[in-house]
Amino acid sequence: MGVSAERGLSLAQARAAWAHYGDGGLPSSPEPSAWSLLAAQFKDFTVLALLGAAGVLACLGNFTDAAAIGAILAVNAALATTQELKAQRLLRALRQRSRPQVRVVRAGERRQIDPSQLVPGDILLLQAGEQVPADARLLEAVDLQTDESSLTGESLPVAKGSGAALQAGLPPGTPLAERINMVYAGSAVVRGRARALVVATGAHTEMGSVWKAVRQARQQYTPLQEQLLRLGHRLLRLSLLAGGVVFLLGVLRRQPLLLMVMTGLSMAVAAVPEGLPAIITVGLSMGVQRLVRRQAVVQHLGAVETLGRANLLCSDKTGTLTINRMKVRAVLPAQEILPPEPDRGQAQGTGPGAEDAGSGGNPPLPGFAAQTGARRLTTIIAALCNNAPADPDPTEQALVEHARQEGLDVERLRTLFSRRAEIPFDSMRSRMSVVVQLSPRPAQATTEQILLCKGAPDVIVGLSTSYWDGEAPRLLTDSQRQALLRYVDEVASQGLRVLAAGFRPLSGQGQSGESSAPGLSAALLLAGGGDPYGPAAGSDAQLEANLCLAGFVALADPPRPEARESLEHCHRNGVRVLMITGDQLPTSVAIARELRLAPGGADPEALLAPELDALDDDAALRRLQRVHVVARATPRHKLRIVRLMKRAGYILALTGDGANDAPALKAADVGIAMGRAGTDVSRAASSLVLADDNFSTIVHALEEGRLIRDNLNRSLGYLVSGNLGELLAVTGAVLLGWPAPLLPIHLLLVNLFTDALPAIALARTPPAEALQPPARVGVGDFQMTPRNWLRSALLGGTTLALYRSGMDASPAAAQSMALASLVGTQLLSALDWRAEGRPPLRRWLRKDAFFLAMLGGSAAGLAAVLHWPPLQRFFQTTPLSFSQWAGVGAAAAGSSLLARLAGRESLRPDRQVFKAHRGRRRRAPACANPRPPAHP
């Protein structure tokens, strides 16, 4: 394409390419328009039935009733559409906010741009943990592996290369899964780094082709929507049964057939809360807005409700419970921990190539080691085996900053020791290695290649066969290894993180270009013109064997000041916290002890993750239910812990930041990714992204989830108990042989005044002072309680009583009193639902103007229907006298008082009336500490 790999496109070329190719971002599913959302409101069976009934009425000349039904359905549809549009705009803004930037080279400079600005010809920079934003041909690759499962279905990462043989391209027709010189949009970089030339963007990528093929696919329901759909079906069956009974009784009593048909259909609508989808959308979107203000970005709306049921939080340590600002506290040379023994000679053969150095002799030592003390050598290795400042990792940054504070010129060091190859850090390996080449001096005939390695102390010490005493390597015995690890444990027990640093001379590259170490990995043949990006199997282990240990670096990452209070808040509210970290056990326990991770200030119990490998699932689960810290954990351990704890019945939230954490994040009920330190892959796999990587933000999110679950349960309880009360009133009147207490348009009017505005206001309720305990049942698994049944019975009974008392005046007056009773009692009931579990009424009335406005709007609508002549004629009502209004008020107040006296258990599913969702998880086995999840 004529693009320089070093300079990339010029700014003018990039603008011209973008004008030609358009948006470079991956295509997304088209958002429904306002008209399509409005049309979707009329696809429900009950709404269609009412529209059909309105059509029948119009054909029979009853235009008033037909228009009334159409107008009420239109208002309900408009309210629901408005709320869905608001939620849609909110989610669009959140997606833009959390959209990761991509790194490119343009005009010779590294830049960060939005994926939509990518164009063919751009030079793309990739590293582990990022998602590939476009199809691109590899120009350079270092130990690169990508996850292409979204395109090929291949579950294992694919090794990629960019050698000279691949630059000319692969044969035509090569399957996508075998194109190892290409990376594709939508895949994830799980290891290594690369520089690539963008060849296709947006809809022109392979992922774009897949998107075009499935763009018309039917949208799937979320778990919450499926639960609510099941609840709606159960209520619909109940209402149709009652409607059928009313219809048959009316026909037997020679009531007008059309009237009984309309009454039966209206009863179906009265029992089913058709405004429920809008109410759920309002509750979730309001919670999402509050979470944004608390630095938490929700990527899946339904995840907010799941958070409300979480009772186990598996959290990382670094950056989540700690501030993630590392600082070097001490450099500990191995020679000072293990003084050299006079009776031991220097090490014989510290690596490949030693055999060629002459029998009985030492391998050629790199100049920087031969002339550098062990303390300074450890500092140099930590600074060179490092990708800072490009890598934002706080540990990497702290190591480079310490080297500068020690008077080292890091940039000059990196010039003197030029990097020739890299084995990136991997959580499974717990180490990082680089191969550097010492620039030759004028008098030298050879250049020196050195492997530098840093990582977890137990790993580096295990790979070391010698240690540096300041002048030469000395043999490292098993007893010395154990002594070193004991010393490291003592340091780590003080809350310090310890890294080990080692090195190994590899080869001398002579003028002839022949390597003096023929057994080296292909990754070291760069100087000889070979391909460094296709190492043989097992080459990493071969390269990193027989290290010479230089020393240790102790760093501190203090706990976040607010983390202890947040943990105590979790303990008080029934959320167990389990720290899962890749750090060393003593360091992790020290931080857990300082944070009081165990409830009641007890000493935290810890477990080494590798110990889980020797246990079967039942034994591992028993251990996990007792511990508070799991140390030295890899992503594989995380995934197993998630599966075991979910099997035990926990509703689990998990934090993660690495690319390899993605499977565990997806497996958790709620995956929580880090917004700063996290990778693109982990963010894409999560349901929630923390903008500040702060544990207290997770606790705020849990609180918000509880509030949303609480609010939705209030709204749902209010809706179902009210609608069942309407059903009881109409059914009771027919069973008693009375005329129907409400006309069909009256039932629809009641739903408008009571189901729409007050229920939406309940879903928007602001936070309470006291947090509700966790619940194992979801909103969609709502179950009626005795108190809710009492509310329904009181609503139906008082309506029937007022209707009977008004029959002495006139049928119109009786129906008007029944209408006023249903609406007035439910509005007062909404106040009860709003105040339940809250501070006294006077403390929140001034803070919740929206709720009062919704109640006032419904009350004003009722008054207008009863007292404004145009609406009186339209809805066939009559004005009520003062005494009649007094009767309505007394009935509503009495119902509210009796419901309050019945107790405050309406939010708890004490008794199952509607069949709960099948396939609920098994209850967790009991454990002593901390307490297992339990039904509230």
For CA atoms 744, 749, 752, 757, the dihedral sign is negative
Q: Please enumerate in sequence order all residues whose Cβ is within 8 A of that of 843, keeping only pairs 6 or more positions apart, or say none.
A: none
Q: Which of the residues 316, 426, 557, 680 is marked catalytic?
A: 316
Q: Please give the Cα distance from 342 to 338 (Å, whole number).
A: 12
Asked whether the beta carbons of 501 and 378 are under 8 A apart, the reply is yes
Q: Please give the Cα distance from 585 to 590 (Å, whole number).
A: 9
**CA nearest 267: which of 238, 297, 224?**
238
Q: Please give the Cα distance from 175 to 198 (Å, whole number).
A: 19
Asked whether the beta carbons of 892 and 798 are under 8 A apart, the reply is yes
Where residue 935 falls (left for φ over 0; alpha for ψ -120 to 50; beta otherwise) is beta
Q: Please give the Cα distance from 683 to 665 (Å, whole number).
A: 9
Mapped onto helix, strand or coil, the DSSP state of residue 354 is: coil
Q: Please enumerate in sequence order all residues whose Cβ is within 8 A of that of 551, keeping only pairs 6 or more positions apart, or say none.
A: 331, 332, 333, 334, 335, 336, 374, 375, 377, 378, 468, 500, 501
147 φ, ψ to 5°? -100, 110
Q: Please give the Cα distance from 612 to 621 (Å, whole number).
A: 9
* Token pair of 349 as six digits: 């053969």
DSSP letter for each residue of 627-669: -SEEES--HHHHHHHHHHHHHTT--EEEEE-SGGGHHHHHHSS
**The tokens 């070193």 sit on which residue?**
484
Length of the chain: 936
**CA nearest 684: which of 93, 98, 96, 30?**
98
C-alpha 108 chain-centroid distance: 37
Q: Please give the Cα distance from 564 to 696 (Å, whole number).
A: 9
Say whether 669 is catalytic: no
Angstrom CA distances, 146 to 182, 571, 682, stand at 10, 40, 14
* Token pair of 39 as six digits: 């049309």
DSSP 135: E
**CA nearest 634: which of 670, 654, 608?**
608
- Is the preceding peptide bond at 389 cis, omega within 30 degrees of 0? yes
Q: Please give the Cα distance from 471 to 467 (Å, whole number).
A: 10
DSSP 346: B
CA angle, residues 632, 637, 639, in degrees to nearest 5? 145
Strands (DSSP E) found in 469-585:
473-475, 496-509, 547-556, 576-580
DSSP 145: E
Residue 323's CB is within 10 A of a number of other CB atoms, namely: 17
DSSP letter for each residue of 568-583: HHHHHTT-EEEEE-SS
**CA nearest 797: which of 895, 657, 650?**
895
Active-site annotation, residues: 316
